[in-house]
Amino acid sequence: MLTLKAFHVIFMVTWFAGLFYLPRLFIYHLATEDPGGRKRFETMEWRLWVIMSIGAALTVLSGLLLVAFWWWPMPAWLQAKLLLVAGLLVFHFHCLIIMRQFREGRMPHSDRFLRLFNEAPAIGLIGIVLLAMLKPF
């Protein structure tokens, strides 16, 4: 069981590396004006999204295995944690929408929005770690 928990944390770190960096790439991408630079950002964003999607899938899979084999019935702190994870999955797929918008040459979001958007994974991480470590309820 500890091995599964260790891999869950490893996969989560991989996913979060992408969740932290991809929105930052969006900010740089928005500021880029030359076509070659834009194409380069599109390639970087896509490759990072693929890698972080693998991390996300393995995080969810290992998390579901932990829930199924260890934490049943599910305590309230874990339900809250899973709600935050669901929010991060929504964030993850919203990144894909933003990537498509860049590729299509339209960006309805401002620099300010992208800078605030960039902070969301940190808030999710703080909540998840505090819930997992403190098990407050």
Instruction: Give pLDDT tens digits along the chain (137 positions).
Output: 899 999 999 999 999 999 999 999 999 999 999 999 999 999 999 999 999 999 999 999 999 999 988 777 889 999 999 999 999 999 999 999 999 999 999 988 999 999 999 999 999 999 999 999 999 99
Residue 108: its pLDDT value, please? 87
Whether residue 18 contacts residue 127, with contact meaning beta carbons closer than 8 Å, is answered with: no
81 assigned binding-site residue: yes
Delimit the domains of the chain by residue range.
Answer: 2-134
